[in-house]
Amino acid sequence: FNNFMEDIQMMLGKRPLEPFWFFTWCISGPIITLVVFFSMITRFRTPTEGNYEYPPYANALGWLMVCSSIIFIPSIMIYEMIKAWKITNNPNYPVKRVFR
């Protein structure tokens, strides 16, 4: 978040109202996204067209398309956490670089 705010300051010449952007980007944005996603999952009904009900593989394909765009966020988070854990557990790694 701080790196992003510094980039905004570099581009605009001033630092924007930090508490507002922190709340919207780091708190309310993820919460709203999770609420929408889980409400979509809980209210899901098998799609139909008139009297025709789509086969199960069509539902699976639709969910695969939805999840394929979302799966990158937690997978990159897990990758970065493992990478940071390996770096900080290295006794030869300089402490200054951890807090960059």
pLDDT tens digits for range 6-37 = 887 888 888 777 788 888 888 898 899 999 98
Domain for residue 49, yes or no?
Answer: no
Domain assignment of residue 23, yes or no: yes
Structural domain harbouring 17: 1-44
Residues 38 and 75 in one domain: no
Q: Supply the angle between the helices 56-70 and 72-88 in degrees, to the nearest 10.
A: 40
3-state secondary structure of 79: helix
Please say whether the dihedral angle defined by the alpha carbons of residues 57, 58, 61 and 67, taken in this order, is positive or negative: negative
Answer yes or no: do 40 and 63 share one domain.
no
Residue 33 inside a domain? The answer is: yes
Q: Give the pLDDT of residue 43.
A: 92
Query: 45-76 pLDDT, tens per residue?
Result: 888 889 999 999 999 999 899 889 889 988 99
* 40 and 7, same domain (yes or no): yes
Whether residue 50 lies inside any domain: the answer is: no
User: What is the model's pLDDT at position 25?
Assistant: 81
Cα–Cα distance for residue pair 69/26, rounded to 1 Å: 20
Q: Is residue 97 part of a domain?
A: yes
- What number of other Cβ atoms are within 10 A of residue 54's Cβ? 13
**pLDDT confidence tier of residue 80, bands split at 50, 70 and 90:** confident
Count of domains observed in the chain: 2
For residue 31, the model assigns a pLDDT of: 94
CB 40 within 8 A of CB 47: no
